[in-house]
Amino acid sequence: MVRSKNSPESRGLTRKRTIKEKTEGAPKKTKLMGNNMEEKSLRQVEQEVLKREREREPAEGRSGASRPCVEAQMPKNPKNITNYKFHKELGKGSFGKVMLASLNNCRDQVAIKVIRKTTSVEDILTEARTLRITGACPFLCHGYGAFQTQMHAFLIMEFMSGGTLEQLINKRGCLNRDIIQFYSAEMIIGLQYLHSCGIVHRDLKPPNILLSAEGHIKISDFGLAVEGIFGNKKMYDLVGSYHYMAPEIHLMSGYGAGVDWWAFAIILCQMAARRSPFHEGLTLLNIIESVTLKQPSIPEDISPDLKSLMQELFEKNPDKRLGTSGDIRKHPFYRSVDWAALENRKIPPPFKPQSQVLSPSVLWLEVYS
């Protein structure tokens, strides 16, 4: 994950968990302190991840439904910090940092999320569990494993050398229809897979959409994801980045997977017009008033079917919002998409991004020991 200095979160506009979660049966969160995780090591975490994954395996996975299965290539002996050379910082946030690293004596590159142990156990468990199941979908960032030191927990993930969607938009400006259709269709597959597993991302935005070396997208950063959201189950905590938060989050009226489709619509507008359809003033009050009370300013110079898609996604009633209501794959904007071929990555990307070059320098990271 790469975060731009000009992104909302770098300006202090990322809303953190400040209200007690009101979902029924929500697990009590404890803090990671000292040399343990409330008597849980990450080895125990991994065992719990595997156990819960088996218990909650989606029905479509058991029934042999046609979902693409992409096996993540597990680095050799990845469970010790001394096995890695750290090269540069890819991004940072309230959780800690994401570092580019490589295994000693080889050129395999990985992204390692370094999480301070002040983060709650359940947050780390949720992200670790999510990374365990992402290997079943080609458009989600895959995880390789986890380990810990005295002060930090580490999540090992695949490194996406094509950069982020945010970087692409900043570099190329407004994207053309074919690119928007291709990337958004791959995002739809990734989101629908997460939602079928009861997972809501809650922080979907261009910095968290990564590009592979081939030019496919991958949804990343599951640090604010929540599990077990099926049917009419609601969440009430204030989570996410203000510019991408749906009206029901701001109004604290209870929300579900529809918040991801609202954020998806914001991303569509940014790809098409390089701007948000709502007030982009720096005051939180302006943002909240614009999202909850006003209609989106959808670009006029886009195709009618793309405009229609945005209008249906910007439905303020989450029960009527496209994505949670109706079949988004059947929208006219995606009429030409061969979904089966796309899921199996048989459709070539519209272009190949310039890969980031691995720095030869090695950082001294004694601070993470």
pLDDT digits (tens, 9 = 90+) for 229-278: 999 999 999 999 989 999 999 999 999 999 999 999 999 999 999 999 98
Continuous segment of H or E residues that includes residue 61 = helix 59-62
CA quadruple 311, 316, 319, 323: dihedral sign:
positive
Closest CA to 222 of 193, 252, 243, 253: 193
pLDDT in tens, 100-110: 998 877 777 89
CB 91 within 8 A of CB 3: yes
What is the model's pLDDT at position 80?
A: 76
In what helix (H) or strand (E) does residue 89 lie, and over which residues does it extend?
A: strand 84-93
Joined together, the tokens standing for residue 339 give: 């979904």
Classify residue 157 as exposed, middle or buried by CB count within 10 Å of its CB (0-12, 13-18, 19+): buried
Answer whether residue 73 shows pLDDT above 50: no
Q: Provide the pLDDT confidence category of residue 79 given band limits of 50, 70 and 90.
A: low
SS3 204: coil
Same domain assignment for residues 72 and 40: yes
Question: Whose CA is closest to 246, among 275, 204, 280, 206?
Answer: 204
Q: What is the DSSP letter of 67?
A: -
Residues belonging to the binding site are 117
SS3 assignment, position 17: coil
Whole-number Å distance between alpha carbons of 125 and 50: 11
- Pairwise CA distance, residues 252 & 250, whole Å: 6
Q: How far apart are CA 162 and CA 215, in angstroms?
A: 7
Q: Among residues 123, 203, 221, 260, which one is catalytic? A: 203
**Number of domains the chain is built from:** 2
Residues in the annotated binding site for ATP: 117
Q: Which residues of 336-355 are buried (b: 16+ CB within 10 A; e: fewer)?
A: ebeeeebbebebebeeebee
Only one residue has tokens 């074919």, namely 178
Residue 111: DSSP 8-state: E
User: Which CATH number covers residue 131?
Assistant: 3.30.200.20
**pTM above the 0.85 mark?**
no
Q: How far apart are the first and last CA of the chain?
A: 22
Is the same domain home to 153 and 27?
yes
Confidence of residue 47 (pLDDT cuts 50, 70, 90): low
Specify whether 130 is located in the same domain as 178.
no
Q: Which of 229, 190, 192, 181 lies closest to 209 in space, CA to CA?
A: 190
Q: Are residues 154 and 194 in the same domain?
A: no
What percentage of the chain carries pLDDT values higher than 90?
A: 57
Place of tokens 């050129």: 107
Of 334, 243, 260, 254, the residue nearest 296 (C-alpha): 243
Are 28 and 132 found together in one domain? Answer: yes
According to the model, what pLDDT value does residue 362 have? 53
Confidence of residue 44 (pLDDT cuts 50, 70, 90): low
Please check whether residues 105 and 245 belong to one and the same domain.
no
Cα–Cα nearest to 207, from 259, 266, 153: 266
Do 177 and 318 belong to one domain? yes
119 and 254 housed in the same domain: no
Our answer to whether residue 203 is catalytic in this structure is: yes
Structural domain boundaries, residue 90: 8-159+360-368
**pLDDT attached to residue 282:** 66
Same domain, 174 and 80: no
Q: Amino acid identity of 269?
A: C
Q: Is 284 helix (H, G, I), strand (E, B) or coil?
A: helix
CA 101, CA 30: separation in Å to the nearest integer?
30
Q: Which residues of 172-186 are buried (b: 16+ CB within 10 A; e: fewer)?
A: eebbeeebbbbbbbb
Judgement on whether residues 49 and 66 belong to the same structural domain of the protein: yes
Flag whether 238 is in a domain: yes
38: number of Cβ within 10 Å: 11
What is the per-residue DSSP string for 248-303? Answer: HHHTTS-B-THHHHHHHHHHHHHHHHSS-SS---SSHHHHHHHHHHS-----SSS-
- List residues bridging with 93 in a β-sheet: 96
Does 175 lie in the same domain as 154? no
pLDDT value of position 19:
32
Instruction: Judge contact between 139 and 67, C-beta under 8 A.
Output: no
